[in-house]
Chains A and B, each alone.
Chain A
Amino acid sequence: MRGAIGRWALPLLASLAVALTAAPRIARAQPSIDVAALIKLVEEQPADMDRATWKEKRREAAKRLGTIRDKRAVVTLAKLAENETFDIIGEIAIQGLGQLGDPSAAPALQRIAADAAREKSQRELARKTLAKLGVATEPGGSPAAPSPPPPTTGPAPRPSSGGRRPPRDEPRPSSGKPAEVKPSNDDPDEDSAADDGEGPEDGEDGEDGVDTAGVGAALLDEGTGPAGPTWQPQVLAAAERLTLGAGSARLSYDTARKRPAFEGDLAATYEHRVDELARMIAWGGDARVIAGYVNPDGAGANRGAVVTAAARGEARFYSGKVFGVGLGVGRLGLTYLSIDRADPNAQDTKDVRTSADLEIALGAGYGRVLDQGPRLRVRRLARALEAHRALGRPIDEATARELQSAWWALRSARSARRALTSTVSILRRAGVLLGEPDAALTYELLGVLRDGQLADRPSGMEVWLGFGEGYLLREDEPQVADGRVEQLLARGRLGQQREDGVADLTADAFARLALFTGDDPAPWALGASARVRRFTYGEYGDPLGAFDLRAEVALSSDDRDNTSVGLRLGGELGFSWVLDLASEVRVSAAVFEDAGELTVLGGLQARYGLLDGAFAAP
C-alpha cells in the first residue's frame, strides 16, 4: 500500500510543484491579451463601431500594446508613432515604444525627433524615448539625454489619460549631464527653459505635483497658468471683477478764442461674490472722480469736480431655497462747483456739497440667481470641438471645474494666450481634445475664450422683501429726507439662459415704500423691466453682435402736490453688430411714455474700420 502511494505520490507532488511554479507565468502569459486583436483594432475600424468610440478604443488598444512584450506590438506602435501626427494616439505609441524598450524602434523615433513639421511635444517625446532606449537622437550620434521639463505651476491636473508615468526603476539619464540633443534651429519657439537643467527629472512630478512627462508635455510647459482655486463642491458660483474706466479725458486749447478746456472722468469698480449651497457673501465698492475746467478769454471760467465713493456688502443664509438676507451700504459724495460769471451783475457760484449714506437692510427671500457665463463658455468649447470632430468625449464635471479654475487664475491676464494654452492642455489631458488643435480649431477656441457676450449671464429666480434702516447726511438745501430713514424694500430677479448660450431673458423688479414719515410725504414706487437678447455668431464662432428687446414699466407716487400716480412705460429694440475688432454698429429705437408724454428716440452709432493692415520690414 505504502509503495502504491509512493508510486502515485511522487509524480503527483512533482506535477503540483511544476504547476505551482508555472502558474504565475501561465497567468501572465494568458492570452487574455490578444495581440492580433489589439493590432487589428488599431488598424481597422470595426464595422459595428462608430468613429468616436473606435478612436477611444483604439487609443486604449495602443496603450495595452505598449505593455506587451511582443515584437508585433513594436512594429505596430512604430507605424502609429510615425503616421499619426494629429491624433493623441501617436504620442501614446511613442511612449509605448519607450516602455517596450526595443531598440528596433529607434529609426522611427529618430525620424520623428528630426521631423521639423511635427509638433514640438511629439519631437520632445521621441527624444526622451530614444534616451530611454539609450539610442542617439540622430542616426550615428551619441545617446541622447532628455531635456528636463521646466517646473510647472498651475491648476493640478488629473492623471493623464493618454500618458503613463515611467516606472521608477527604469533607467533614466542624469539630468546633470550636458544635453547632447542637437538644438533644433528650425524651431524658433523652442523653450529655453526646457533645457535649463533645473526642472524635475523626466517622469518626476513638478513642484506642485504635476506630472510633466507624457502626452502634451510641451503644452503643459506653455499652457499651465498660476494655480487656481480648487472649487469645493458646495461652491455654486464665484465672481471677482475689478474694472477701471477712464470714461473720458479731453484737454483742448482753442487758439481762436484763447480758451483752454479740460474734462476727465475716472471710475473704478470692484465686486467679489461667492455663492455656496448654504450661504452667499458679496462685497465690493466703487469710486469715481469727475473734473471739468473751462476758462474762456476774459470772465466766465467754470470749474467743477465730483467725487463719490461707495462700499456695499451682502450676506445670505439659505435653508433650501428660502434665505435670510442682510445688506449694508455706505456712500460718500462731494460736488464742487465754481462759476465766475461774465455778467458783473450776475452772482458767481462757489459751492461745495457733501452727502453721506449709511444704511442696512434685513429681510427674507426665496430662490437664487447665479451667473452661468463660465458654464456656457465650457459648453461652447465642447461645441467647437464637436464641430471640428475633435471631441473625444464630453467635458465632464471635473474637467469643467478644472477649466474654470485655470480661467479664474488667469482672470487678470491681459493676453488670452495662457488661457488658450491652459485650456488646450487641460482638454488634452482629460481626453476631451483629440490631438493638437489645428489652426482653424485654435482660432475658434480663442474666440470662445475671448467672447465678451458670455459675460454676466444670470440664471434662476429670486425675490426678497426687507426692512431698511439708514442714516442720511444731507445739505440743508434742498429739503430732502435726511437723518434716520426707514423703508420697506422688495426686489425680484429672473434670468434664463438658452442651453447653447445664444439667447437669454432677464427681468428685474423693485418696490419701495417710505415708512414712519409722519406728516411728510411717504413716497412709494414699484417697477419692473425685462430684456431678451439673441446673440449672433459667425461661421467660425466670431461674436457678431446681439439683438436686444427691452421693456419697462414703473409706477410711483411722491405724495406731493395732490398728484396721483406717475406711470412710465417704455421699450427699446436694438442691434449691436460687431463687424470686426475695429468696427461696430449699434442701431436702436426707444419709445417711452411718462406723465402723459410720448417720446421716441432713435439711435445709430457706427464705428467702421475700412482698412486695417500693416507691414514692417525686417
Chain B
Amino acid sequence: MPEEITSQDLKERLALIETMIAEGRKQTQSWGWTFLLWGIAYYVAIAWASWGSSISLIGSHQLAWPVTMIAAVILTIAIGSRKRGHPATTKVGHAIGSVWMALGISLLLVLPALSISQRIDAHTFVAVVAAFLGCANGTSGFILRWKVQIASAAVWWIASVAACFGTDAQLMAVFLAAIFLCQILFGIYAMSLDARRRRPQGEVHA
C-alpha cells in the first residue's frame, strides 16, 4: 500500500471517484443558440412568405422557405465551426447530436420533395415540421431527463395535431406560438443555463 490509509480516506476516495464520474457524464454541449437561430429563421420565412410578394426587393414569396432554410443551415454550420467544440465529449452528447442531424436531413429532403411534387399544403407542412421537431425534442428530453425539453416536445406534438384542423389563420397562430415557445423562449433559456454551467467547480490537488 502506498501509505498508511484510514477508512475515512478510503471513503473519501470512493466519493471522489463517484463525484468525478458524475461530473464528466453531466457535460452537455451548448446548442441553445441553434434553437434561437432557427426560431428567427422560421419567423423570417413566414414573414417573407406572407408579405414578401408586396415588396418588390424581396422577390418571389415562393422562395421564402427554401432560401431562408438554406441560409439557416449555412449559418448553423458557419457559427458551429467557429465556436470551439465542447472541451469534453460524451456518448450522450453524440447520441443527441445525431438525432438533430438526422432530423435536419429528413426535413431538408422531404419538404422540398413534397413542395416540388405539389402534394403539400400549409396544414400538412406545419403538421410535418411540428411532428419532426416534437420527435427530436422528445428524444433529447427523454435522454437528458430534461422536463423543459419534454414540455417543448409536447407543445410541438400539440401543434402538429392542431395543424390538421382549423382555418389558415388558426394554423398560423398555432405555428407562431409554438415557434415562440419552443425555439425563441427555449433557446434563450438553454443559453442562460449554459452560461451558468460554465462556472468552474471545486479543486482537487495531488
Does B bind A? no
Interface set of B (CB-CB < 8 Å, partner A)? none
Interface set of A (CB-CB < 8 Å, partner B)? none
